[in-house]
Structure 1
Amino acid sequence: MPPHERTALLAKPPSTHPSSADTAAVEDSEAFTLPEYQLWLSEIWLLTKTSIPVILAYTLQNSLQTISVLIVGRLSPEALATAAFSYMFAMSTAWLIALGGTTALDTLASSSFTGSTNKHDLGILLQRGLIVLSAFYAVVAVIWAFSEHVFRALGQEEYICVQSAQFLRYLIPGGLGYVWFECMKKYLQAQEIYRPGTYVLLITSPLNAFLNWLFIHKLGLGLYGAPIATGIAYWCSFLLLVAYVVFVRGSECWGGFAPRRAVAHVWSFARLALLGIVHVGTEWWAFEIVALAAGRLGTIALAAQSVIMTADQIINTIPFGLGVAASSRLGNLLGGRKPREAARAAHSAAILSTIAGALILAVLMSVKDVFGKIFNDDERVVRLVADVMPFVALFQIADGLNGSCGGALRGMGRQWVGALVNLVSYYCGALPGGIYLAFNGWGLSGLWVGQCVALYLVGVFEWVIVGMSNWENEVNRAIERLEAGGMGEHGDADGLGSQGLVNEPV
């Protein structure tokens, strides 16, 4: 149109980011070029490709301490029990900070990568994560240092109290490497770089086995060589991942050290990290309570429980890895202002996890009668494992839903919802009910009936909550979270608020 007296003197600058309406229009144009079912299949295939390296990385990560337990177990039964108990305690405390606390990076870093005008904001979030999670880990390190008193309060045997406390003291330096390694993985995953964690662990897993053998048996350090060797492997994993970023890929989002910006908005990050710890921890702690309850059912029940838990820890890397991939994918889409694609990604992850859970169910049911023989020759243990396995197999679908939908909630920054659902489902219903059944005629099967009920409640509730989400609002919340952290389109440039602009020219 020709200019007139109401025409603006200066034209509006083009928008840096598309609006939700613009994004919807783009998605509508994509819908004309591809049928809807192809868009869904494409999303499921993308999630499959991205989740496989994440699952492999977590499997290898778990193998570090599994190999350590196997090697130290050749010293004596007491050494085996001490190492297994110590790593279990580490899993329930420090490793929970690494795997639960870094879900704040799943939420914020992936949204920042696509939603922030400054690509170096991702590097600031990495530094913020290292600072906050190191502070959380410092609290755990103090608990580990005085854990002898904690173990006595829990009624453990004297050799466990003394040796396990010393084991954890030697593990304190290496545990921080585990936390930092997990932060670096999330920094890369936010950039849609998923494979380096697997590459690094393919190097450090055999290195860990060699160091454990060297320190425990050849250098004569015995039991305490295990935490030193494994700690070195954790730090090597972190340093190799840093080297990958520096020399291969991922350094574009690193703008250098900026401690003032990193600590400027630390509370919002710490809150998300703490909620992520509770979200993941409420499920893990429930399984530990089941393990403690199984110990009171007798030696055979405890042995069968150990077999099942060992298998479940390996299987659980599938839904957990899928949840991490879904969380990162969803955060990228919300930061990129793509509500329709975000909804499709969340439901695609749930569908994929259901398919994977059904396949695992079929495999477990087909081998239930012989599975226990892999770990133990006692016919009573093998038979009890076969009796309980149908319940373990049945909850695999629900466990998959829990992993994928929990990952979707973390990508949306709604860790508190997952934590609340877990608390209600496990601690207000399934655990008390399962323990009641266990000691009233059902035995070990009763405990796993409770876990099965809990996982189905959690999985269904979380999928319903994800399905009822207003995705336009979730996009807005993602941008608001970035701005609250001094990032995004209107975030502070230097973390100093309005004071940082006082001397800027107009």
Structure 2
Amino acid sequence: MEQSSINRLERQDPEIATEACNFSISLIPALLAFAVLRPLIHNLQSQSLILPLFLSACATLCFHILLCWYLVFKANFRIVGAALAIGLSYCLNAVILALYMRYSSSCEKTRVFIFSDIFSCIKEFFSFALPTVVMFCLEWWSFEILILLSGLLPNSKLETSVLSICLTISSTHYFIPYGIGAAASTRVSNELGAGNPQAAQLAACVVMVLAVTEAVIVGTILFCCRYVLAYAFNSDKDVVNYVSELVPLLSFSIIMDSLQSVLSGVARGTGWQHIGAYVNLGAYYIVGIPLASVLCFVLNLRGKGLWIGIMTGSAVQAIVLAIITVTTNWRKQARMARERIFEGTYSAGNRSV
């Protein structure tokens, strides 16, 4: 019921709020499956076993499409069926990857498992995990605050609909640079751990070029399709026209999001999660959201002002992370990574004795 109250606070239609509440509750099992799936994915990524991940994702996608169609239309579970399909698809993907790790010869040397190491490594794990969680949450929560603020505008239904469409497009695209950033995180961390600072630096440069090139292409396509883009979500003429006005800003925002997501991946691979958390805090909550509020409510730019503010936050985040990456002493980072590896090996050896 709290979810429904939140949606009503955003001045959404009561029927939409109720459906969102049902979907959120039904999505709880998917969270549990996702919690198992993510460690499996990162384990294989760290070993550069990308093909099994790709094949597993393709098989899961085919299964998900059929299952979702059946639960939504044939079983008539509607929105609840869509949520259940997501959870079951995550479970299938996790099972496939777990079986691969258990029986594949590619994982033979990484299947050694010492149960006692779990508790001794929790402190070290949380030192990296918590800043990473904060790093991601601060960014995503800022977009949720953006939608919440749009509900305070006079014509809130139009503003919320337009911003939701732009946010959906941006979020859908985000997984492309996020995947590149994940590859950067794995590559950079592996090269630093192997004592190859030049290779780590090269990997950071390559993924930045890839991310910017891909974002420019996507941004250009969106700009060229700005007058028909909103028809994929809404047929209301006011919404379509408003979205066409925001698409130039959306195109620039996609470029900034691509760059910052890749740089965030480099930061994770270098062990700078805590720095990334501070950067996100400053970029979105000291610069982005206050600027969005001023542009929206004081200068009366409405939804356009909200998007400019949050886009500025993304730009600040990308610029700061770029400066940190460019000024990095890669040799020093490689030495520190090697020291952490040897410390961990020495500690594990003492425990085994």
1:17 counterpart residue number: none
Offset of residue 325 of structure 1: 0.6
Which of 242, 265, 268 is residue 121 of structure 2 equivalent to? 265
Give the structure 2 partner of residue 478 of structure 1.
337
Match of 2:175 in 1: 317
CA distance in 1, matches of 2:321, 2:143: 19
Q: Are 2:250 and 1:392 aligned?
A: yes
After alignment, is 172-181 or 243-252 more displaced?
Answer: 243-252
- What are the residue-to-residue correspondences of 1:166-205 with 2, within 5 Å? 167-205=23-61
Report % sequence identity: 27
Q: Which runs of 5+ in 1 are unaligned?
A: 1-147, 502-506
Residue 307 of structure 2 corresponds to residue 429 of structure 1 = no
* Structure 1 CA distance for aligned equivalents of residues 237 and 21 of structure 2: 35
1:463: Cα distance to partner? 0.9
Alignment equivalent of 1:493, drawn from 346, 349, 352: 349
Amino acid at match of 1:467: V
Distance 2:305 2:201 in 1: 37
Q: Which structure 2 residues correspond to residues 375-390 of structure 1 after superposition, within 5 A?
A: 375-390=233-248
Aligned to 2:91: 235
Question: What are the ranges of 5 or more consecutive residues in structure 2 without an aligned counterpart?
Answer: none
In structure 1, distance between residues paired with 2:262 and 2:237: 37
Given that 2:101 and 2:111 are in contact with CA atoms closer than 8 Å, whether structure 1 keeps it comes out as no
SS at match of 2:300: helix
SS at match of 2:349: coil
- Whether 1:334 aligns to 2:192 is yes
Q: Is the 8 A contact 1:482 1:491 kept in 2?
A: no
Retained in 2: the 8 A contact 1:181–1:237?
yes
Cα pair distance change 1:399/1:209, threshold 3 Å = same
Q: Which moved more, 1:298-307 or 1:381-390?
A: 298-307
1:461 is aligned to 2:320? yes
The alpha carbon displacement at 1:239 in A equals 0.6
Distance 2:304 2:283 in 1: 19
The higher-RCO structure (CA 8 Å, 6+ apart) is: 1
Match of 2:223 among 365, 382, 397: 365
Indicate how the Cα distance of structure 1 residues 447 and 232 shifts in structure 2: closer, same or farther if over 3 A, else same.
Answer: same
Q: Tell me by how many angstroms 1:245 deviates.
A: 2.9
Match of 2:265 in 1: 407
* C-alpha RMSD of the superposition: 2.4
Which of 122, 130, 143 is equivalent to 1:274? 130
Residue 428 of structure 1 aligns with an amino acid whose one-letter code is I
Q: 1:339 to 1:418 in 2, by over 3 A?
A: same
- The reply to whether residue 290 of structure 1 matches residue 149 of structure 2 is no
Judging changes above 3 Å, is the alpha-carbon distance between structure 1 residues 216 and 413 closer, same or farther for their aligned structure 2 residues?
same
- 1:492 counterpart SS class: helix
Cα distance in structure 2, aligned partners of 1:166 and 1:449: 33
Aligned CA distance change for structure 1 residues 218 and 352 (closer, same or farther; 3 Å): closer
1:447 is matched with 306
CA deviation profile, 1:172-209 (whole Å, cap 9, x unmatched): 33322112212111111111112322221222223223
The answer to whether the Cα contact below 8 Å between 2:3 and 2:21 also exists between their aligned partners in 1 is no
Separation in 1, partners of 2:176, 2:35:
21
The farther-off stretch of 336-345 and 253-262 is: 253-262
Paired with 1:416 and 1:374, the residues of 2 have a C-alpha distance of 39
- Any conservation in 2 of the 1:149–1:161 contact (CA below 8 Å)? no
Letter of the structure 2 residue corresponding to residue 360 of structure 1 = V
Specify the alignment match of 1:301 in structure 2. 159
Superposed displacement of residue 483, structure 1: 4.3
